[in-house]
Amino acid sequence: MPTYRCKRCQFLYIDERREIPFEELDEKFKCPRCRCSKKMFECLER
């Protein structure tokens, strides 16, 4: 399962632990920790 990391605060969004896969999140999604946009996340593994 993919894992995404916020480039600013290192928050991890792990798809298997969430109801909605990261790729399906709305563009309005913000990092829960630092409030950065979805564009600030990078994929670590697929």
pLDDT bin (cut points 50, 70, 90) of residue 41 is very high
pLDDT at res. 10: 98
28 to 7, 35, 40: CA distances (angstroms)? 17, 10, 12
Using a CB cutoff of 8 Å and minimum separation of 24, what contacts does 30-37 make? 31/6, 33/6, 33/9, 34/6, 34/8, 34/9, 36/6, 36/7, 36/8, 36/9
Q: Rounded mean pLDDT of the chain?
A: 96
